[in-house]
Amino acid sequence: MPFKSLELIEDVKIDSIITIHYFEYMSDYSFPGESHDFWEFLCVDKGEVEITADNRAYTLKKGEIIFHKPNEFHTVRANGKIAPNLVVISFDCTSPCMDYFQDLKTSIGETERNLIAQIIYEAKRCIKTPLNDPQTTEMVRNQDAPFGSEQLIKIYLQALLITIIRNLQLGQYSAPAIKSMKLKSDDLLYNKITTYLEEHIREHLTIETICHDNLIGRSQLQKLFREHDQCGVIDYFSRLKVELAKQLIRENHHNFTQISEFIGYTSIHYFSRQFKKITGMTPSEYASSIKVISDRK
């Protein structure tokens, strides 16, 4: 009996990627606007921004996304208080299902955020053009990119669009994942501790203090963070501090000494060393680079 193949249907077909961006903007950033003949979405990773799309105005907060259809004029600006982190991805897609995304502004869940994070991760590996350059009109390939990076970007983007459409059809977003009780318990504990670290971001914490306050053993604590973040809990805490420092630098209301003290460092020199260790730049170099990027409109 001869076999007959089944040709798989592509409900969402991405024809090409135009740009992939991850921006860290100053709190006073303002983009006067543009329109183009391809799709674009903007997702807020941190902070919030004011958006216009044709004659509609929106406020987007962390975890929210907006789609701009082809030839729709759109602008974006920070609110003057919070320095935002934004993901902006533009692409060509003529699939009929893109009707779902016309005038769409919504919140997204963990599944969608993870897919966007995977797109950014692969883009950093296969695109030579800096992802934080707002003037990019053509992305340049990295000839030494890992095998399959570009294809993974396409796959993750298609999966993102499919996931959003399914949730729209169901009238919900980010349906809960089915996990084992062990994984669910570990995730709850991890979320509890990361929330604790965020709440104590201005303090000097030791592993012993974290263990005592969260009723967890040292080895279990380190194992939990290595599984989730591939680093120890103190390294994670240092990254949190530096991320807050970066936001404060972009908001431009405090000098480096004040920021250092605000996030719990007793020495500005130690703060500068930690900042450079994590970001590859000193605080002043970071401030200069962000100003240059924000001024390029």
Instruction: Label the pairing between strands 30-34 and 64-68.
Output: unpaired
pLDDT > 70: percent of the chain: 94
pLDDT in the model for residue 292: 73
Token pair 């949730």: residue = 167
**Per residue in 126-160, pLDDT tens?**
999 999 998 899 999 999 999 999 999 999 999 99
pLDDT value of residue 296? 59
**Which residues 6+ apart lie within 8 Å of 59 measured at CB?**
48, 49, 50, 51, 79
> What are the structure tokens assigned to 251, written together?
């908001």
Contact 66, 102 (CB under 8 A): no
Residues with Cβ within 8 Å of 138's Cβ and at least 6 positions away in sequence, in order, are 129
Mean pLDDT of 103-120: 92
Say what the pLDDT of residue 1 is: 79
Instruction: Read off the pLDDT of each residue in 260-287 and give the average, rounded to a whole number.
Output: 94
> Of residues 292 and 27, which shows the higher confidence score?
27
The mean per-residue pLDDT over the stretch 174-188 comes to 51
pLDDT of 180 reads 42
Question: Judging by beta carbons within 10 Å of its beta carbon (0-12, 13-18, 19+), is residue 145 exposed, middle or buried?
Answer: middle
pLDDT digits (tens, 9 = 90+) for 76-105: 999 888 899 999 999 999 999 999 999 999
194-210: average pLDDT: 94
The DSSP secondary-structure symbol of 17 reads E
Whether the predicted pLDDT of 63 surpasses 60: yes
Mean pLDDT across the chain, nearest whole number? 90
Give residue 179's pLDDT.
39
Question: Looking at per-residue confidence, does 260 or 186 come out higher?
Answer: 260
Give CA angle at 47 (41, 50), nearest 5°. Answer: 60
pLDDT of residue 177: 38
The torsion of the CA quartet 67, 70, 72, 78, rounded to 10 degrees, works out to: 40
Q: How confident is the model at residue 173 (pLDDT cuts 50, 70, 90)?
A: low
Alpha-carbon distance 256 to 222, whole Å? 31
Question: Residue 44 has which token pair?
Answer: 């807020």
Share of the chain above pLDDT 90, in %: 78
3-state secondary structure of 128: coil
Arithmetic mean of pLDDT, 283-294: 85
The per-residue pLDDT for 210 is 94
Q: What pLDDT is stored for residue 172 in this prediction?
A: 62
- Between 7 and 174, the more confident residue is 7
Q: Name the token pair of 186.
A: 């570990």
Q: How many CA atoms lie within 13 A of 213 on its CB side?
A: 14
- The pLDDT tens digits of the residues spanning 43-58 come to 999 899 999 999 899 9
